[in-house]
Structure 1
Amino acid sequence: MSKTLSADALDTLFFRARTQNDWLDKPVTDEQLHALYDLMKHGPTSMNTSPARLVFLRTPEAKARLLPALAPGNVDKTRAAPVCAIVAYDRRFHDRLPVLFPHRADASGIFEGKSDLIESTAFRNGSLQGAYLIVAARALGLDCGPMSGFDAQKVNDAFFPDGDVKVNFLCNLGYGDSDKVLGRLPRLSFDEACTLL
């Protein structure tokens, strides 16, 4: 059952929210990261595939493994952020379908041996879950700085050497410095982006 959120809630999730590049020296706790996942996991994915896999980098040592893969402009802000989430997707997601989609006994078999279907399903639904991560973080009072400036192969080699899990994007998490945030950039109008048929 759905209902319209308050104007304040919509401001928190969308209208006043901004991508953050500068971070306050304020920690994000493990409890907050658990709460974040426990909220985002409820967003829908096709056949409940839930392919997203998250690695939360919280320590300087963990981030040091990531920094060589980053574009130069992303290094300092990632080092300064309390947490950097590696948002990845598992191409063996279908192994979990007997538990996640139990009412269809052949669900995992739909994907076996079909690498293109596996890749597109994992990437699409993992991307959805990455978007849920951002909305959930904002709903819980955290700011986000999603990034795509990195060498994916280096990230995969450093964090997912078995090859089944692949990075999608990165997202810094914490409390942004509101004095340094950019203003709202233009967005396309309804008529520019949408078609009614």
Structure 2
Amino acid sequence: SPVVGLTGGIGAGKSTVEKLFAELGIPCVDTDRIAHQLTAVGGAAMAALCAAFGADIQHADGSLDRERMRQKVFADANERRRLEAILHPMIFDESLRQLAQLDAPYILLAVPLLFESSCYQDIVAESLLVDCEPSLQRERVMLRSGLPAAQVEAIIAAQMPRALRRERADSVLDNNGDLALLSLQVASVGGGWAYRA
């Protein structure tokens, strides 16, 4: 099955778009979900992460303390690279494993940093960007996560600039409006891919 890379900045609405495609019968392999599985209780990445960053990065139950890890890596680019060097290959391998098990006219592969991650370029036939105004993005992230504005700004600033993402995407879904409008766009672009496949 052809693979469509789904991407977008934090708070753009990737999860909502995944659900809308699921309603059309299109499955999605989500790298964020895989990352959560790898760092949950008994997760395959936890031993390597504790060895690299110390046992204090885990909760008492053995799952990753995301807040502590976030503080470590956002303050230091080298630490972030160390984290990525452990997690990214594991996420990539598990993505391939899950994609191989699915059969559909096409499959979504949700990768927040799709354009920054060269390893995914070879397996993605097309890219689909979920995009919205930065003010809306900030509002959604703060509402969802409870993070302070300064931290949300830092996360957004660390991601690829919006204009560059829009330039690199094969298709763009505009998520500035309501759910009905987004749903119409998904049906339109999704129907086009199903027809081509």
TM-score (norm 1): 0.30
Q: Which has the larger radius of gyration?
A: 1
> As a proportion of its length, which structure holds more helix?
2
